[in-house]
Amino acid sequence: MAHREFKDRLYGEFARIGKAVASPQRLEFLDLLAQREWSVEELANETDQSIANASAHLKVLRTAQLVETRRDGSYIYYRLADQNVVRLWQAIRDIGQERLAEIDRIVDQFMAGRDDFQPVDAQTLLNRLHEDDVLLLDVRPKAEYDQGHLPGARSVPIDELESHLEELDPDREIIAYCRGPYCLFADEAVELLRQRGFQARRMADGLPDWRMAGLPVQREGVNE
């Protein structure tokens, strides 16, 4: 057997994955696609890119078999190929957080004071879901909530939260969650709620991390 040729070709294939994720924009796409499927146009708008650039990035991810597509009329929707792609993104994120000091500096710069929001870990939150004194808010966009959310969570997108404050019970602690540990929606929600006199905390992670931990998820009233 030609060992060198075998190894070169084998690791060359593995390197396709590395090349596919060697882009800030494509990593953000993976993070967003862990929430739900998106059209090219939606991803371009969400990430402030042109449709042409978004399409090019998605083509790279699709060539590496990290995403799949479906067509609905004139629109093409993208989704992650499977849950192993979520694990890949989590691994990159966690190793970066552990090994790259610059990530901590960026977080401190842009998310200063978030530890004051007393983040709640998944297991603690799971144990509290049965308590009537806790209200769980999903502050992601409604389209993401519809494709999967924590059991019993109420959808109040961050840009609508202020208009719904009068509907919230001030005697219940509110726990807000969003896309993941580097999503700012939950931080903004907790800051607003505390300013208005509510007891509020944020979930440490997001819906994809909750799902990957094997914890229960609801979608349109159906348990996954």
Amino acid in the structure at residue 28: E
By three-state DSSP, how is residue 121 classified? Answer: coil
Tokens found for residue 10? 């084998």
CA distance 130 to 103: 36
Q: Which residues are catalytic?
A: 178
SS3 219: strand
* Alpha-helical runs (H) found in the chain: 3-20, 24-33, 40-46, 51-63, 83-99, 101-110, 122-128, 142-146, 185-195, 207-212
